[in-house]
């Protein structure tokens, strides 16, 4: 199966899942497992949600992979915080070259962070780490944005 077909199959499963259940935690956890288990080079997948109280901090939501100490991330700090601050996807080919990187694991080599919007407002992010350098492309960004759109109504 080529990458385009893989992406299409995963998106179909996620759309069906997000339309069949309004249990946010269940759906987001299922998305994390589905991505971690099916995307090549995907070693950690998690959602960070904007804290409704502060509006300037991300709170760790459902994830699949090793535990992380980064439960709360202020906007602007680390790759996730930077992506939240500027509301743009970050694709990092080599995290060791980033001065503002928050290390979750010494094994992580690359990362992609995709903001999630609902009615034009930032509500969270999808964060994926890989133990492989340069694991993520613009094609992955487009695919993950579609996933974020499919689950945004739950946030």
pLDDT score at 93: 96
Q: Would you place residue 3 in the very low, low, confident or very high pLDDT band (cuts 50, 70, 90)?
A: confident
pTM (2 decimals)?
A: 0.95
Ramachandran class of 134: left when φ > 0, alpha when ψ lies in -120 to 50, beta otherwise? left
Segment 112-139 mean pLDDT: 97
Domains of the chain by start residue, with CATH: 3-154 (3.30.450.40)
pLDDT score at 111: 96
Q: Would you place residue 106 in the very low, low, confident or very high pLDDT band (cuts 50, 70, 90)?
A: confident
pLDDT score at 101: 78
Query: Strands across the sheet with 121-130, in order?
Result: 72-74, 57-64, 44-50, 121-130, 110-118, 90-92
Average pLDDT, the chain: 94
Place of tokens 């259940």: 21
Structure tokens at 4: 């385009």
pLDDT score at 92: 96
State yes or no: pLDDT of 14 exceeds 80: yes
Q: Would you place residue 87 in the very low, low, confident or very high pLDDT band (cuts 50, 70, 90)?
A: very high
Contact 45, 64 (CB under 8 A): yes
pLDDT score at 15: 92
User: What is 78-113 written as a DSSP string?
Assistant: HHHHHHHHHTS-EEES-GGG-TT---S-TT--EEEE
């Amino acid at each position: 199966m080529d990458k385009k077909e893989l992406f299409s199959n995963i998106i179909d499963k996620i759309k069906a899942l997000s339309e069949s259940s309004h249990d946010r935690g269940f759906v987001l956890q299922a998305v994390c497992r589905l991505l971690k288990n099916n995307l090549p080079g995907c070693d950690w997948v998690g959602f960070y949600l904007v804290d409704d109280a502060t509006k300037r901090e991300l709170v760790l939501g459902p994830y699949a992979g090793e535990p992380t100490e980064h439960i709360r991330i202020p906007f602007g700090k680390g790759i996730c915080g930077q992506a939240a601050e500027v509301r743009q996807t970050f694709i990092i080919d080599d995290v060791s070259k980033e001065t503002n990187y928050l290390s979750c694991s010494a094994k992580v080599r690359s990362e992609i962070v995709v903001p999630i919007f609902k009615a034009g407002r930032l509500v969270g992010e999808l964060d994926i780490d890989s133990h492989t350098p340069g694991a993520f492309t613009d094609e992955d960004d487009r695919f993950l944005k579609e996933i974020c759109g499919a689950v945004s109504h739950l946030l």
